[in-house]
A and B are shown apart, each in its own frame.
Chain A
Amino acid sequence: MKINNRDIRHTLKSSGLVLDIGFFKFNICSSLQSIEETISTLYCDYVHTEYDNVEELVDFHVQVRQVKQILSPPFFNSQAQFFLDNTAPFTPLPIQHAPAIIEWGMNWCVSSQINTHLIIHAAVMEKNGFAVVMPAPPGSGKSTLTASLIQEGWRLLSDELTLIQLDTYQVSPFPRPVSLKNESISVIKNRYPDVVFGPVSSDTAKGTVCHIRPPTLSVKNQHIDCPIGWIIFPKYQVDAETEFLPFGKAQTLMNVAENCFNYSVLGQLGFDVLKNVVDRADCYQFKYSNLDEAVSIFSKLEPPK
């Protein structure tokens, strides 16, 4: 579905543009040009509706606004700030970071407000009916790997937030633009020239940040839940030999728990869900420097027995 850019601009500035992302509806309001650009380049495949025409409940009313500090000198660069229903959870950042601000803000909405799922800070993708979960701290090359694999036939379920249902232990997809940082931007650009990049946010706390458009098919299939087949801890290391080793289940559980947003909030239930997930999945740790070898290893993954 193609959307008219003028309509996007108008809708974002008035009652808001509602995007269906996973099982969520985000109503987005912003008069910033870069937000409009983000929406039209990265979110064009999602179902989008004018807020006034939405007949169901919206999950999050979000705004990205230009803000000016009181008493700031006239030449002072203005800032942008994220709001969830007019409440600002974060301090404002330079206005050129707006495309990253909205992505971080939307992630925060889900990770801070949802306890009906166990939420892991992890990338998750699906192939042949099973999902691979990759929990990893920043710098582990998780996003670069994700960005590559989704160009190689994997379905993107999420780049940041793995949402696990508490009763079925399946992943509810929440596919969003994949965030790339610094060198990985050019790595992906060179490797996959057809990938669509959104506006760049330079000099953020995380360096230069740029998001890529998720594959159309991943967005189209965003309502298809998926059982977890593998949990893999990736680690990018310069010049490292590719190393793909089984990882103990107990240690996997502890490592995943550490990467959860609401593991302790869910208490006993959190443990039970995670235990079931880990029990059913094959667990590995994975060291790599060569993306070709990485892609090849992932393509050979056998469904768990």
Chain B
Amino acid sequence: MNLPILCQVFNGQVAISDLTINQWDLLLRQARSAMLLAKLYYLIESNQVLDDIPATAFRYLKSAKIHSDKQLNDLHWEVRHLEKIAKKLKYPLVLLKGSAYAMSDMRASKGRTFSDIDILVAYDNITNTESQLMLNGWVSSTLDEYDQQYYRQWMHEIPAMRHMFRGSVIDLHHNILPKTVKNCPNAQLLIAEVKLLSEQEGLAVLSSIDMIIHSATHLFYDGELEHGCRDIIDLYDLLNQFVDEGGELNDLVARANELGLQNPVYYALHYVNIILHFSVPEETINKLQGNVPKGLMVYIMDFLFMRALMPDHESCNDSWTGLARWVLYVRSHWLRMPLHQLAPHLLRKGYKRVKGEEGY
């Protein structure tokens, strides 16, 4: 199977200096659709070939880089506000995903797009953290009673909180998967291993292994894969940095076994290997215990994910892409909620949509 030019550039199969004009055209378009322009800028910068690229390409890579840097700057500002809250708490606020990568100055934060700030605290600390956030200007973005109840009863997070003046959005979590998921991990295991940030009092991030596991879990339980390509590159950055700093993939696998999250870690290693040529020894994958895909299932999942994880651009689509994305969307709901809970929820949502009370 031929990978899109964007993936071939990230995995090193095609060198930047060898790109033809037509390849550049596709590369920029795929990167724009996948929100990876800024990431591409940093890749080219690290290869020290920025001076050799076409002026038109540079314009868009540089523009995206400036935008991403600005988001990073804004994020630092918001985290400073969070620090004021965190200082007064008896437990750390654990930053997740983008904000964690940014505050630990990790490779994955370079050229990334940042939106919401994700925070993890123990379930028992949710109420207190929520009130502290409210006292500091973040208010629940939905007033709908059903949504509020749905989130609090079933989800791993409370409804998003938006800052009244600055507009920043915080997603407050007590776990990394909804309670309704069969393999929902014990969040205490994650919290026990967090690393406190040295420069920000009261703030912490997951251990580097758990960051990888969380990123994998998020991607492979999520149904909306329009940005799947960006997320797999996140994983690639995390894994590379982990290995470069002396991390052992065997430890990652052991942790996945401990948390019961073998499946997403299997997919992460499998697809980072196929798409981005990150090498994973066979025996490492074999150490993943439990129900990881085997035989025919691997072919089926490859058929789906090798379409859905590609940039959401027409040049990467074939006639099965739409179906693949749809099947994975349905799968994610299936994984996240048993049918007897899911069906009434979807019915209710559908009804509200028809009534025009809810957007698409």
Separation in Å of the B251 CB from the closest CB of chain A? 40
> Which residues does chain B contribute within 8 Å of A265, judged by CB atoms?
66-67, 70
Q: Please name all residues of chain B whose beta carbon is closer than 8 Å to the beta carbon of A266 when the two chains form the complex.
A: 66, 70
Docked complex Cα distance between A59 and B29 (Å):
10
Q: Does more than half of chain B's interface fall in helix, strand or loop, or is it mixed? A: helix
Q: Is the CB of B29 within 8 A of A85?
A: yes
Which residues of B are found within 8 Å of A58, using beta-carbon distances?
Answer: 25, 56
Chain B residues whose CB sits within 8 angstroms of the CB of A56 once the complex forms: 21, 54, 56
Contacting residue for B62 out of A61, A116, A264, CB 8 A: A116
Q: Are A267 and B54 in contact (CB under 8 A)?
A: no
Contacts of B32 in A (CB 8 A): 85
Q: Decide: B70 and A57 in contact? CB cutoff 8 A.
A: no
Contacting pair B33 A87 (CB below 8 A):
yes
- Cβ contact of B70, chosen from A86, A113, A116, A264, cutoff 8 A: A264
Residues of chain A contacted by B5 (CB below 8 angstroms): none
Q: B73 contacts the other chain (Cβ, under 8 Å)?
A: yes
A79 to B62, CA, bound (A): 35
Does residue B250 face the partner (Cβ distance < 8 Å to A)? no
- Verify if B28 is at the interface (C-beta below 8 Å from A): yes
Q: How far is the CA of A267 from the CA of B66 in the complex (A)?
A: 9
Q: Which residue of A lies closest to B66 (CB)?
A: A115
- A115 contacts across to B, CB distance below 8 A: 62-64, 66-67
- Tell whether B313 is near chain A: CB-to-CB under 8 Å: yes
Give, as a whole number of angstroms, the nearest-CB distance from B6 to chain A: 13
List the B side residues contacting A295 at CB < 8 Å.
none
> Could you tell me the distance between the alpha carbons of A85 and B73 in the complex, rounded to whole angstroms?
29
What are 6 A-B contacts defined by CB distance under 8 Å? Answer: A25-B56, A56-B21, A85-B313, A113-B60, A114-B59, A115-B63
Q: Please tell me the number of chain B residues within 8 Å of chain A, measured between CB atoms.
A: 21
Given known A57-B28, A267-B70, contact A116–B63 (CB-CB < 8 A)? yes
Looking at the assembled complex, report how far the CB atom of B114 sits from the nearest CB atom of chain A, in whole angstroms.
13
Given A85-B33, A85-B313, A87-B33, output 14 extra A-B contacts at Cβ < 8 Å: A55-B21, A57-B54, A57-B56, A58-B56, A59-B56, A61-B29, A86-B313, A86-B314, A113-B60, A114-B59, A116-B59, A116-B62, A265-B67, A267-B73
B57 at interface, CB cutoff 8 A: yes
Shortest distance between the CB of A34 and any CB in chain B (Å): 25
B24 contacts the other chain (Cβ, under 8 Å)? yes
Smallest CB separation, A55 vs chain B (Å): 7
Alpha-carbon distance A116/B41, docked complex (angstroms): 14
Query: A-B pairs with CB below 8 Å: how many?
Result: 46
The complex places the Cα of A197 from the Cα of B29 at a distance, in Å, of 34
CA distance A57 to B21 in the complex (A): 6
Scan A281-298; emit 1 where CB is below 8 A from any B CB, else 0. 000000000000000000
Are A113 and B63 in contact (CB-based, < 8 A)? yes
Q: How far is the CA of A59 from the CA of B24 in the complex (A)?
A: 11
Q: With CB as the reference atom, state the residue of chain A lying closest to B57.
A: A57
Q: Which residue of B lies closest to A85 (CB)?
A: B29
Mark each residue of chain A from 38 to 79: 1 if its CB lies under 8 Å from any CB of chain B, else 0: 000000000000000001111101000000000000000000
In the complex the two chains form, what is the Cα distance from A264 to B54 in whole Å? 27
A residues 1-57 touching B (CB-CB < 8 Å): 25, 55-57
For the complex, what is the distance from the CA of A87 to the CA of B227, rounded to whole Å? 14
Q: How far is the CA of A114 from the CA of B73 in the complex (A)?
A: 19
Q: Is the CB of B33 within 8 A of A114?
A: no
Q: Which residues, 110 to 139 on A, are CB-close (under 8 Å) to B? A: 113-116
Query: B30 to nearest A CB, angstroms?
Result: 10
What 1/0 flags go to B328-343 for Cβ under 8 Å of A? 0000000000000000
**CA of A237 to CA of B51, assembled, Å:** 51
**In the assembly, what is the distance between CA of A264 and CA of B71, in Å?**
11
Q: How far is it, in angstroms, between the C-alpha of A115 and the C-alpha of B313 when the chains are bound?
A: 23
CA distance A85 to B25 in the complex (A): 11
Query: Is A57 in contact with B24, judged by CB distance below 8 angstroms?
Result: yes
Interface string of A253-274 (1 = CB under 8 A from B): 0000000000011110000000
A100 nearest CB across to chain B (Å): 25
- Within the complex, the shortest CB–CB distance from A206 to chain B, in Å, comes to 24
Most chain B CB neighbours (cut-off 10 Å) among A56, A114, A115: A115
Residues on B with C-beta less than 8 A from A116 are: 59, 62-63, 66
> In the docked arrangement, what's the CA distance between A55 and B20, Å?
10
Interface-central residue, A59, A85, A267, by most chain B CB under 10 Å: A85
Most buried by A among B32, B54, B59, B73: B59
- Quick one: which of A55, A264, A265 has the most chain B CB within 10 A? A265
Give the distance in Å from the alpha carbon of A61 to the alpha carbon of B56 in the complex: 13
How far is it, in angstroms, between the C-alpha of A87 and the C-alpha of B64 when the chains are bound? 17
B residues in contact with A61, CB < 8 Å: 29
Measured in the bound complex, the distance between the Cα atoms of B64 and A265 in whole Å is 10
A260 to B60, CA, bound (A): 19
- Residues in B neighbouring A25, C-beta threshold 8 A: 56
Q: What residues on A are CB-neighbors of B70 within 8 Å?
A: 264-267
Closest to B317 in A: A86
Task: Give the chain A neighbours of B60 by CB distance below 8 A.
Answer: 59, 113
Q: Interface code B165-183, partner A: CB below 8 Å = 1, 0 otherwise?
A: 0000000000000000000
Name the distance in Å between B105's Cβ and chain A's nearest Cβ.
19
